[in-house]
Structure 1
Amino acid sequence: MEENVTTIELPKKRPTFLTVLCILSFIGSGGGFLYYVYNYFTFENTYTEQLAKFTEVVEMMEDNGSDSGFLYNSAVNKIVELNAMNENLDLITGAFCLFALLSLFGAILMWKLKKNGFYLYTFTNVFALLIPLALIDFNAMLMNTLIGAVFTLLFIIMYAVNLKHMK
């Protein structure tokens, strides 16, 4: 008599570290999407207020003869950023929303222990760093992009450590 033995493969258990990373990504990507949508509808009011404030700061610094240095350049860069955002608001908001949703989808796939989620998340977040450089202004956005790149790289590394648990 032949014996039939069937093996039942239990689903893999998601490591706690990966669970925490995914939850943080859900919050970051979902919150980012909501922020970009909110910013789109409130941009006109904040644009006018911030542009007036930074223009006043730049004019005051020019009048005082301190029209160089970090603070002056930061204020000028903020004016450039605001004007570029105003000119390309639909394109910039659309790109940021798309990348936030793709990043969220990548995190959901990693939650389900799918390696494809890691590749989608990595691709999305690396290219999302390029949006402000390409669509707003390279010089004005370089510092913000570098700061964002540090966090992006840390998350990609932490997810890569968990690749062995994904299939």
Structure 2
Amino acid sequence: MAATSQPEPGPDRSLLLVDDDAPFLNRLARAMEKRGFVPQIAMTVAEGVATARVNPPAYAVVDLRLGDGNGLDVVEALRERRPDSRIVVLTGYGAIATAVAAVKIGAVDYLSKPADADDITQALLAPEGELPPPPENPMSADRVRWEHIQRVYELCDRNISETARRLNMHRRTLQRILAKRSPR
């Protein structure tokens, strides 16, 4: 997580980090502090929404899947209280479709976990309307296939039979794929 030559955050450097993985959250907070941000952390949707309502930050990094709900609630609360806030959504396995929904409701970008502080900083500080540079380590073809299967599975409300039908795949084959960990 070495710092590279990146643009500095604006005068308001407040940053809300919302994730339920405490070690990751603490590492990210320290790394973002080194990059000029003033981080606040929240480990639940409730804490994130409360912070967004009381003291909406200029920047936010929000995980989609949290122990007490969906990170989209935090994104919506931030958009209500501070429309100019720059929000990046982090997504774990199988949540790309939801990440796209987050961008539609106001997030500037989404990144797959594990994301490093440099990628997050580039996404937060990318000029308006400009995409950040492509990642150094893009997803493998196996990972893209797996993400697509997960996306269809989520869109079918986690119904294996319906997902298998739409993917033109045998139900048991799909069950085996879903039971495995995501490829790198």
**TM-score of the alignment, normalized to the shorter chain, above 0.5:** no
Bigger helix share? 1
Bigger strand share? 2
Using CA pairs under 8 Å that are at least 6 residues apart, name the structure with larger relative contact order, 1 or 2. Answer: 1
TM-score (norm: length of structure 2): 0.27
TM-score (norm: length of structure 1): 0.29
